Amino acid sequence: MELIINDLCKTYKNGYVKALNNFSAELTPGVYGLLGPNGAGKSTLMNIITDNLNADSGEVLFDGKNIKRLGKDYRSVLGYMPQQQGLYDDFTANRFLWYMAALKGLKKKEAKGKIPRLLETVNLTSAAHKKLGSFSGGMKQRVLIAQALLNDPKILILDEPTAGLDPKERIRIRNFISTIAKDKIVILATHVVSDVEFIAKEIILLKDGELLEKDTCHNLLKAIEDKVFEITSLSCDLAKIQASYRVSNIYRDDENIISRVVADDPPEEYKYQCVKPTLEDLYLYYFE
């Protein structure tokens, strides 16, 4: 199973904003972390892959066939959780999932078996018969994740799936995504980079509509392993450090300020040590 994206281009606002510029990638089963700043083209890419938006040029192929020609056959293997989706406040979580199951064409017997399991997976069994209007933002996120999984999709697109979740729920959802990804192509767009650092097969870095990098987290971090430092300084030096470097973290020990910085060259004017990079450091290196 593979999803091939060939030379996608998309321009908005009378030709002045190029959301995608010759974006190409080949995806096979596993989790792909899609990272980039706001305006990088992530939402445009996901909307084209889900066939909710037409590209100006280029194509998306699923197992060698253009998704435009596959039509409903493609949509039947697709699961999509948008970042923002209007929910019917008067619907209960259970009723909403039944409604979505009907829209997806699930048979009643199939939906009857899946809906309770999915509610349990996203930890909403006890709230199944409560109205969505009473749900917190995090609870609504979990309902949207459940609806994306109703048809057991082969391609799963998740846009900020853990937004609004507490750490325990984020871990639960992250582990679940990792578990189901063996036989699915999962594209997970997020600004919470720790959500994909350990579960992603590859990281896709997108900036200004262009593909910067697509590789394993290990290889990407290896490429910047000599570009992350911890500076030990006095408090009076902090403002100068922040003005001169990309600072990913600041903390204090008993007497000093420790600033974690990302830089092409060592900060030799200070006492420093080279440290192991994280995906947050990588994000800062490319996007700040």
Strand-strand pairing, 17-27 and 30-35: unpaired
pLDDT tens by residue, the chain, 288 residues: 999 999 999 998 777 778 999 999 999 999 999 999 998 999 999 999 999 999 999 999 999 999 999 988 999 999 999 876 678 899 999 999 999 999 888 999 999 999 999 999 888 999 999 999 999 888 888 899 899 999 999 999 999 888 778 888 888 888 888 888 888 999 999 988 988 988 999 999 999 999 999 999 999 999 999 999 999 998 889 999 999 999 999 998 878 999 999 999 999 999 999 999 999 999 999 998
* Cα separations in angstroms, 114 against 97, 99, 107, 132: 10, 13, 11, 19
Superfamily of domain 3-221: P-loop containing nucleotide triphosphate hydrolases (3.40.50.300)
d(C-alpha 8, C-alpha 54), whole Å = 10
User: pTM of the full predicted structure?
Assistant: 0.90
Here the tokens at position 88 are 């019917």
In what side-by-side order are the strands of the sheet with 65-66? 17-27, 3-12, 57-62, 65-66
* Cβ contact 231:270 at 8 Å: yes
